[in-house]
């Protein structure tokens, strides 16, 4: 990109394709096509050509590991999201905005929440899944035998919700000890009674 400092003016040769703030140079794509972005300064003139392509495909890939709400990664499980145009050109390299251009959903929704995220350092996009803890899932009215679920994470383009993609993953619900103070094993006593909640089908 261009890095221009000092007084000057930014402009776009095609406002239908690219709108540029004349003072800050912040640009927003408006439609498909080609436009030139120009900076005019007292002793400087810079220009670059921008080709705006329409994203019409989203591919979502699930993490390789089995998902669980016991000792889940603190940053969540990352479902990679790849955007491409009709010619199959990936737009990963152009993902540099803080706000990702897509929304994310998880089904069933009671297992946790999911949020879009673009990693500017490596130019990758994700739907990040954060599972609810076993204690948070306890009030949910679900089949107690459903200790293992198949969840779906879906991404759809903000500007066109019809452009969407999804991935499925295996989710294993965990359990927790309701009254951990009652668990007291000593050399003279090797058994105790504890109360657990959550997925009691795990062995």
What SS3 state is found at 111?
Answer: helix
Backbone angles phi, psi at 180, to 5 degrees: -65, -20
Q: Does domain 55-173 have CATH number 2.60.40?
A: yes
pLDDT of residue 176: 46
Q: What is the gyration radius of the CA atoms in the chain, in angstroms?
A: 25
With 0-12 / 13-18 / 19 or more C-beta atoms within 10 angstroms meaning exposed / middle / buried, residue 97 is exposed
| CATH code 2.60.40 region(s) in the chain | 55-173
pLDDT of residue 198: 47
What SS3 state is found at 11?
Answer: strand
Block means of pLDDT (10 residues each) for the chain, 203 residues, are 65 90 85 87 87 80 91 91 72 50 92 90 90 75 64 90 92 62 60 49 47
The DSSP string of 159-185 is S-TTSEEEEEEEEE--EEES-GGG---
pLDDT of residue 80: 95
116's tokens: 């879009």
């Amino acid at each position: 990109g261009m890095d221009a400092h000092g007084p000057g003016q930014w402009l776009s040769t095609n406002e239908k394709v690219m709108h540029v703030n004349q003072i800050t140079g912040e640009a927003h794509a408006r439609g498909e096509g080609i436009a030139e972005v120009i900076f005019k300064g007292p002793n400087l003139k810079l220009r670059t050509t921008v080709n705006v392509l329409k994203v019409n495909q989203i591919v979502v890939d699930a993490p390789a590991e089995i998902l669980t709400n016991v000792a889940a990664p603190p940053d969540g499980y990352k479902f990679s999201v790849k955007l491409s145009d009709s010619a199959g050109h990936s737009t990963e390299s152009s993902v540099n905005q803080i706000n990702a251009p897509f929304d994310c959903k998880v089904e069933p929704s009671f297992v946790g929440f999911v949020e879009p995220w673009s990693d500017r350092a490596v130019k990758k996009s994700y739907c990040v899944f954060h599972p609810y803890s076993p204690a948070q899932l306890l009030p949910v009215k679900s089949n107690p035998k459903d200790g293992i679920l198949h969840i779906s994470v879906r991404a759809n383009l903000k500007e066109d919700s019809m452009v969407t993609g999804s991935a499925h993953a295996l989710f294993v619900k965990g359990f927790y000890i309701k009254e951990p103070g009652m668990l007291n094993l000593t050399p003279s006593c090797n058994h105790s009674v504890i109360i657990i909640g959550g997925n009691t089908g795990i062995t």
